[in-house]
Copies of this chain bind each other. A is one copy, B any other.
Amino acid sequence: MKYCSQCGSSVEVKVPEGDNRPRHICTDCGVIHYQNPNVVTGCIPEWQGKVLLCRRAIEPRKGYWTLPAGFLENGESTQQGALRETIEEANARVAIGQLYTLFSLPHIDQIYMLFRGPLEDLDFGPGVESLEVKLFSEEEIPWDELAFQVVAETLKFYFSDMQRNEFRLRSGVIERLPGAERRYRTTLHEE
């Protein structure tokens, strides 16, 4: 951020009076431009022990598999957002249920919320952001071709809970470790 979106003057980064974090502040009108994490909302579309994954048609991680999810929009609830993303990416209708994972990804300032979502029918197919949409059993999951760590963690918990048929909310932090390689540390929050 270089310019004030209110008046067009330049901004500087400093700690406002009474605050304890550096913010972007307009040098002319004085408006403070706060920047906060975004919510990504989505679901685990379920059908008889299988889950629906989408192969991404767009960057980042084009060609890799993911759960239907995307940025929560203004004016909608987290469940409405999850429903919308599932329609947009998989042309699939689900009944959004229990919040299943709540993960903070501080390295990219995102909060992921993934709900359970029983499919209402098998009439699904790729939306414009997907190359392919397919149901997978635990054995069929392409673990090495998953787009994001948060998807891998969610599916791991999901299939482990399925064995016991007892699903509970998992929340925690996924941090990317330093280095060029994609390596992560997941810390579960004790509930």
Of A7, A71, A78, most B-chain CB atoms within 10 Å: A78
Q: How many residues of A contact B (CB 8 A)?
A: 47
Q: What mask results when residues 22 to 55 of chain A are scored 1 for a CB within 8 Å of chain B, else 0?
A: 0000000000011111110000000000000000
Q: Which of A94-102, A132-140, A141-149 contacts B (4 or more CB under 8 A)?
A: A94-102
Kindly provide the distance from the CB of A178 to the nearest chain B CB, expressed in whole angstroms. Answer: 15
Question: What chain B residues lie within 8 Å of A96 (beta carbons)?
Answer: 189
Oligomer: number of copies: 2
9-residue interface stretch from A61-69, A104-112, A117-125: A104-112
A73-115 interface bits toward B, Cβ cutoff 8 Å, 1 = contact, 0 = none: 1111111100000000000000011110010101001010100
- Report whether B3 and A4 are in contact in the complex, using a CB–CB cutoff of 8 Å: yes
A72 contacts the other chain (CB 8 A): yes
Most buried by B among A35, A96, A104, A169: A104
16 A-B interface contacts by CB (under 8 A): A1-B6, A2-B6, A3-B7, A3-B8, A8-B8, A8-B10, A34-B71, A36-B73, A37-B73, A39-B39, A77-B104, A77-B172, A78-B171, A79-B104, A96-B189, A99-B191
